[in-house]
Copies of this chain bind each other. A is one copy, B any other.
Amino acid sequence: MPSPDLIKKPLFTVDSVLFTVQDNVLKVLMVKRAEAPYCRAWGLPGGFIDIDLDQNTDMTARRKLAAKTGFAPNYLAQLQVFSGLERDPRGFSVTLAYYALVAYQAVASHIETVEMACWIPVSELTELVIAFDHLQIIELARQRLQQKTLYSMLPVFCLPQQFTIGQLMAVIEAIIEKPIQRKSLMRRIEASEMFEVSNEKISSGGRLAQLYSLKPDANIINFERNLSI
């Protein structure tokens, strides 16, 4: 076997699909590329590992996201590696894609001040010029997020620290694009034991709504049944 130094190394990058839900619409953070290839097209936030700054690829993803949003996402997980000769005109490339969730409120103020970063509704992506195979990456990330939404409470990471059932329900419905039963959601909140009821309630146009928050030490549990599609 040849020494690793003699082997042509492919380009390796880390990109992230950062989701949020604003006004009942699922949106993705896109940045306008300033360089070739795909200069001036929209792409996912990401870049190369910096071995001196990053302990691992998770840190690369976080660092690149922080550069665009000023905040760490509430949730970050690996999606998949995409690789091949065709996906980048510069040659064989390997991209590790992450997907991440953040509360819109947490980044809203900061993102206005950052040039060329923008929340795009996932349904409007096809109207734009998207760099590389990033459209395909986003589509896979969306499918993964939808699947996980059916059997976990992942969407809480699109909400501020305190939230109501109604808000959670709206976020879930924005992700899976189907209405769900409030009752089913409440059963899951109860059964999961992941949340605590706050002693505050907030107004929302009718009866005051109970505020919930994730317990500090809570694990994200998976339910044994999916919500129905």
Q: How many copies does the complex hold?
A: 2
In the complex, what residues of B have CB within 8 A of residue A47's CB? 1
Kindly specify which of A2-10, A19-27, A181-189 makes contact with the partner chain.
Answer: A2-10
How far apart sit A48 and B7, CA to CA, in the bound complex (Å)?
8
Q: How far is the CA of A81 from the CA of B83 in the complex (A)?
A: 13
Main secondary structure of the interface of A (DSSP, over half): loop
Find out whether the CB atom of B94 lies under 8 angstroms from the CB atom of A12: yes
Q: Which of A106-114, A158-166, A209-217, A220-228 contacts B (4 or more CB under 8 A)?
A: A220-228
Say if the beta carbon of A191 comes within 8 Å of chain B. no
Cβ-neighbour of A12 out of B12, B80, B228 (below 8 A): B12
Residue of B nearest to A92 (CB): B51
Residue ranges of A at the interface with B (Cβ–Cβ < 8 Å): 1, 4, 7-12, 35, 47-51, 55-57, 78, 80-81, 83-85, 90-92, 94, 96, 224-226, 228
Residues of B contacting A55 in the complex (Cβ-Cβ under 8 angstroms): 84-85
Q: 19 interchain pairs (CB within 8 A)?
A: A1-B35, A1-B47, A4-B48, A7-B48, A10-B12, A10-B49, A12-B12, A49-B83, A49-B92, A49-B94, A51-B91, A55-B85, A56-B84, A57-B83, A57-B94, A94-B96, A224-B225, A224-B228, A225-B226
| Cα(A9)–Cα(B10), bound, Å | 9
